[in-house]
Chain A
């Protein structure tokens, strides 16, 4: 029900929204909860386990009950707190975890069966017959569990991530936060003031506290105006600090567009990483409930929330209101409601010495022992000594005291400290380096106390920042003491809920203690207390008190409660903003990319790169046809391939040769200028790290190439070896991978093609290199081959890559050649027995690939010592071999090999296949693989079995070099 003249909503901006298909009206500034309450809708959800009717409990993000689905045009968002979601024109919300309707929910049968659904009952049953667990019991449990639902469709929403930096982050804008921000800002610090709600003020506006003689909201507006005017202040509303991380990093979720109708380019949320030199936690306190019998009905809510609804939204939740409290704060709520014309039927105060100053009935020393009303509260039963009183009421405001919002202080394993005075946990100082808690978050509850604490915290932070503090006198405000008497539970017949979200009652805690799940962690895990969407914000402390009582220990003896990030649940889409679709990883494109695409080449992922798979010609319908043609083309004429993805590291200095000798297994100091050598690089543990060719361009100048996959890894490795072991050597290196475009020209016609465009024809020997001029550009020519044919690689600065590629291809085509892609490249190298990371997969030694002789005996090198470990040598190791088979059925990589007649099982496996292809030139299937003692078994027939693709055939083990075994073609 809306109350005239109250609240901070904009009554000139009415909005229409829907809940469960019915239209309602609200105002801009309303939350969905306040608007529903204004329309007298009190039933908003069903509980998790027992499907009990539930209403709004709180007015903030800690809400356990009022979780709804927000329906968008394409998608729905489950588990949205109606107490946080602001209404806008056209908002559609739907209740969840009910069928068929909220009012008539079939699953409410669970409530009737609740005697059997005790804590952890599922651990004790559903075990027989065994097959029924997966077939029957579990599917039923899964369907009954869960709250809201996802649509199953891609989330097309827009989300962002951002960084922010500041001197001081103030978390919360109640009296402590505002005063801290004002003090720091006036002193010149860079301040970010983060407020979870849409407007500043926290409990100042919720309580309508008077500050400096002004109404709370007016004082907040003045403070906000002052902060807005300062360039060193950034106010972030609708922004929740969700996590505290190492070294001053805070995660924050900003609800950018969730309060507005969806429109293009409006992000829904933004996830911030805020780096702050100092932080002040001024997040206030959360009111806690009392576990009295049947305390979960719609209409039973927190007293402080009733005050929020009245002062912020001009809403009262009932016509005849009662309160049940153990402290004074409910009194203020009662006074304000009465002043607004609401009838307060009674205040039930558990304290025998409770003050009786209100203008309504106060039952001191009394407790609520029962409630009635199926879909809405109708009546409460009060026990006052021996007297039992029944009171008709539609709203019961409960206050069991206040818990400081210390959650962030637990995020780095800080443990809160029990305060007997407050009967609550308070933050332990220094739990988050650089952060202090102030105000209610630190257990200071009066408005004056909060203002003062905010100022003190700011002055402290300024001192740490080395900024001179400018302070002004504090405005006057209420400074009442926090008067309370702890009351956690009320005994009675009915169930008394602690965790409303997970339907955990005091009986569940007692049962857990009875079964000796008596450590607080066991209790939580066994009963699921504190695991619901509100993460036990309003119930963990009470549950601990109940457990302490059940086990006869004090609360500090029983344990403590802790909280893990995030403070409020954060959407995966916000945390993963930017990852959607192609955003997950950078895309690297070759200079020939467009030219390849122009020719219809499918571009495939190779690490972060895209490389052409093959270049289809008209009439070719499968990749194999194109691949076979390209292989023949290279073997018979000439082919062009872009090999720029290989890592290129330019190494210079008088110690360059010495350095290469150290990082390579073989020797490079003996390499003449103008020559190229194949190099094998080991990891320090003796296994193969990478291979490639390195050219000596000058006496003190080398150019190393790495495989595409290991380019970054090798660079990091070289940096480590240099800086850790030989920092004094005169050698420097830099990755030039991005600086050069490099193309392979391979085939019998390669030399004539190369000479057709060089200004001065090259006459390079095999493994030679020289600088060349290509169309007026300085380039480099290498006579190296990854195909087994006479081959060259020509490199030019990247900006000329595309032009050169197009030119090379055009020239090749006049000679019966053309471009070739990754598929053909792979066939060519398998035919030649050349390895890639399919073979050097990290578990392979130089010995395994027959290159152990390359490890120079004359020098130390990385990996040399470890390579002699017994496990890395010997006949039992699997050695690289070639495999071949005729016929139609193909060899497949990933298959295992077995000796003739052996059973197919792990114990008998002789090896496996790493690479396989159809060789169009040789007319058979070829492969590379590893076989135990393989080099001694050439000519042996083995059984190849691939269960995954149903292949079972006999292959012959052979030398891995199939094509041109003598290398005559390379040296031609």
Chain B
């Protein structure tokens, strides 16, 4: 079924009786050509591109809970391509290009909105770093522009330019950055995958990995054994547990990161704004809520909930940067579990076990990566070769010292 404005109107006139299920509820088959463990954003996009780009149709996505139950529905919905280390630059650049065509590709309105993101800087040193970042972005072929304090004043008059602890010197703006409706991304990919024949199997937890002679041959699940010669682990947040089923130990530590949303408000913040001196970034959703986040709670956790210290820090940062939001009320706070790697960059690679592939370590940058992650993971699973924009996301780069450390904070998992 194709979605369109006309379809919405006709269904409206006839009581919405014609809307079909967005996806089937298939029972697992005994064997598939390829299995993707994890029905989150990355797993679903991997399935979609495996089917779409590589013609694999006999594939399944196994999801422990419901589709999109992981971090795809627990983030601050920001889409951007403003990295500056080779490896990240080309990958996120590719992802942003896929985002720009996603609605048409999926026939699903994921509400991708290029409302721009500005990252503020607050010292001469930060200005130099922002310049380097901006230059790297433009060298990559994406857009970035410097905004002076005066430019900012005009576009964001509500920031505190007068009495904030760390004065605003300027900002680095990426106009093509923005936001998208997070759940819709999962649903869009799920629906499109299902239409290409992918079996999306919910409430199906993988409990074991069948490996014979160094090759993966299938998985054990709560809904029985399923055979497959290719298995992709795409379960950021639980990567260590699933990899351990195959005897693998990953360079990952799990951390919780909180996010926040206020009650609905009339439009007041148009772009995404990121503070440079504390952990705070904010946007306003189409529903009117201010959506914002900060940093990790900083201790290893699988609890998907946070504590007050980081929450309060984020609010304090908001109050020093834009005190006009003071009277907006926090409606809901939540936490997601992040795969933190020792350099802050992800992994899309083969493993030591033949046929077993890994897409993990998204730190807290996974949402914007969803299209390219699936694109590259599908390429890897189908061809056995890394896609060129993900060629540096290797598992052995830590041992070899070929790290991609955007923050420059070193091999401590929670500092990225």
Residues of A within 8 A of B (CB): 48, 75-79, 115-116, 118, 121-128, 130, 133-134, 138, 141-143, 145-157, 159, 161, 243, 245-246, 249, 251, 271, 273, 411-413, 507, 511, 514-517, 519, 521-522, 525-526, 528, 531-533, 535, 564-566, 569-573, 575-585, 587, 604-606, 683-687, 689, 837-838, 841-843, 866, 869-872, 892-896, 904-906, 909, 912, 914-915, 945-949
Contact = CB atoms under 8 A, between A and B. Distances in A.
B187 interface: yes
A293 B24 CA distance: 32
B323 interface: yes
B278 A906 contact: no
A78 B312 contact: no
Interface in B70-125: 73, 85-86, 89-90, 103-104, 107-115, 122-125
Interface stretch (B30-38, B330-338, B373-381): B330-338
B80 to A, nearest CB: 16
B223 interface: no
A784 B81 CA distance: 45
A123 B164 contact: no
Contacts of A572: 262, 315, 318-319, 325-330
Contacts of A161: 312
B248 interface: no
Given A157-B326, A515-B21, A684-B411, A533 B160 contact: no
Contacts of B244: none
B91 to A, nearest CB: 12
B139 interface: yes
A130 B263 contact: no
A147 B288 contact: yes
B141 A905 contact: yes
A685 B332 contact: no
B164 A413 contact: no
B247 to A, nearest CB: 25
Given A576-B312, A584-B164, A525 B73 contact: yes
B134 A894 contact: yes
Contacts of A570: 329-330
Contacts of B332: 531, 535, 564-566
A912 B103 CA distance: 38
Interface in B266-287: 266-268, 277-278, 284, 286-287
Contacts of A869: 399-401
B264 interface: yes
Name which of A515, A580, A842, A895 has the most chain B CB atoms within 10 A of its CB: A580
A837 B408 CA distance: 11
A138 B326 contact: no
B165 A145 contact: no
A711 B330 CA distance: 36
A141 to B, nearest CB: 5
B53 interface: no
Contact of A48 (B164, B264, B316): B264
Interface in B1-45: 3-5, 7-9, 11-13, 15-16, 19-25
Given A126-B5, A145-B264, A152-B268, A949 B160 contact: no
A249 B307 CA distance: 9
Interface residues of B, number: 127
13 contacts: A116-B8, A138-B113, A142-B288, A147-B288, A149-B265, A150-B268, A150-B324, A271-B312, A525-B73, A571-B330, A587-B165, A894-B133, A895-B135
Given A519-B202, A571-B327, A948-B146, A134 B131 contact: no
Contact of A138 (B104, B125, B286): B286
Contacts of B107: 127
B317 interface: yes
Nearest to B182: A525
Contacts of A605: 122-123, 165-167
Given A516-B22, A533-B263, A564 B333 contact: yes
Interface in B143-182: 144-146, 157-158, 160, 163-167, 172, 181
B221 interface: no
Nearest to B123: A605
A848 to B, nearest CB: 12
Contacts of B316: 576-579, 583-584
A893 B8 contact: no
Contact of A121 (B8, B103, B131): B8
B136 interface: yes
B352 interface: no
Contacts of A945: 135, 139
A535 B265 contact: no
Interface of B: 3-5, 7-9, 11-13, 15-16, 19-25, 65-69, 73, 85-86, 89-90, 103-104, 107-115, 122-125, 127-136, 138-141, 144-146, 157-158, 160, 163-167, 172, 181, 183-184, 187-188, 202, 262-268, 277-278, 284, 286-288, 303-305, 307-308, 311-312, 314-320, 323-334, 342, 397, 399-403, 405, 407-411
Contacts of B69: 521
Contacts of A893: 128, 131-132
Name which of B65, B158, B164, B327 has the most chain A CB atoms within 10 A of its CB: B327
B139 A904 contact: yes
Contacts of A130: 103-104
Given A411-B305, A896-B139, A906-B140, A576 B326 contact: yes
A579 B132 contact: no
A575 B314 CA distance: 9
- Report, nearest first, the 6 A-B pairs whose CB atoms are least far apart: A842-B408, A579-B316, A894-B131, A155-B326, A146-B288, A871-B401
Nearest to A72: B327
Given A413-B304, A571-B329, A575-B330, A148 B125 contact: no
A584 B317 contact: yes
Contacts of A126: 5, 109
Contacts of B12: 115-116, 118, 121
B411 A134 contact: no
Contact of A576 (B25, B124, B202, B318): B318
B363 to A, nearest CB: 16
A149 B266 contact: yes
A569 B131 contact: no
Given A579-B318, A843-B408, A894 B334 contact: no
Given A571-B327, A604-B123, A514 B19 contact: yes
A569 B329 contact: yes
A533 B264 contact: yes
A285 to B, nearest CB: 22
Contacts of B4: 124-125, 127-128
Contact of A525 (B113, B166, B183, B265): B183
A870 B396 CA distance: 12
Contacts of A118: 8, 11-12, 16
B319 A573 contact: yes
Contacts of A905: 139-141
B103 to A, nearest CB: 5
Contacts of A685: 342, 410-411
B103 A133 contact: yes
Contacts of B68: 522, 525
Contacts of B304: 413
Contact of B408 (A75, A584, A841): A841
B184 A123 contact: yes
Given A128-B4, A413-B304, A906-B140, A580 B329 contact: no
Contacts of B24: 516
B21 A514 contact: yes
Nearest to A709: B125
B130 A894 contact: yes
A689 B188 CA distance: 45
A909 B86 CA distance: 10
A922 to B, nearest CB: 21
Given A138-B111, A571-B326, A904-B139, 14 more contacts: A126-B109, A127-B4, A152-B157, A153-B324, A243-B308, A251-B308, A515-B20, A528-B287, A565-B333, A584-B164, A605-B166, A947-B144, A948-B134, A949-B131
